[in-house]
Amino acid sequence: MIQKISTFLWFDTEAEEAAHFYVSIFKNSEIRELRRFSDEVPGPKGKALIVDFVLDGQRFIALNGGPDQKLTPAMSLMVFCESQQEIDELWGKLTADGGEPGVCGWLTDRFGLSWQIVPDTLTELLQEVGDGAGDRAMKALMEMTKLDVAALRDARKQKVQAGL
């Protein structure tokens, strides 16, 4: 089945390098096709024009479109992780070599692409159950850079002490 909707990423000149980096991080990933600038396609001959790649089964297209457009945190890729270990691993790889940690589980990799590295139980952890548990977890999340699942669970369990 063909994926009907795909993410298209505009890079200045780093599309091929970024795609290879992302494919090296995620399982079930591959470069599907690489189209290079040629005599018929204006641009730096031999450099990647378009990279068609898959990350963990999800298709992406990257373009070396020049400096006119920039990646921003207004569009990020959210990765749902099964464990704290997976969060830690992805966080470390994506912030390596010039990536920047953000807040609330967000980061920007060295190519300028924004990511959210979150537990797959995030909506459950933030769900309100009438005793303020969701609000406590949200408050804890807002104070974090890389998310700490145990700390979010602990925040849900804390009871507000009378008089404080």
Same domain as 98, residue 53: no
| Cα–Cα dist 69/13, whole Å | 11
Mean pLDDT of 138-146: 97
CB 50 within 8 A of CB 35: yes
Claim to verify: residue 102 and residue 141 sit in the same structural domain: yes
Res 164: pLDDT: 41
Residue 1 has pLDDT above 70, yes or no: no
Tens-digit pLDDT profile for residues 35-88: 999 988 888 888 999 999 999 999 999 999 999 999 999 999 999 999 999 999
**CB-CB contact of 137 with 156 (8 Å):** yes
Instruction: Kindly report the pTM of this predicted structure.
Output: 0.91
> What average pLDDT does the segment 130-147 reach?
96
pLDDT 10s digits, 4-27: 999 999 999 999 999 999 999 999
| Structural domain boundaries, residue 37 | 7-64
Residues 55 and 94 in one domain: no
pLDDT for the residue 160? 56
In-domain check, residue 56 = yes
Q: What CATH code is carried by the domain that includes residue 45?
A: 3.30.720.100
93 and 133 belong to one structural domain:
yes
Examine the pLDDT at 163 and tell me if it is beyond 60. no
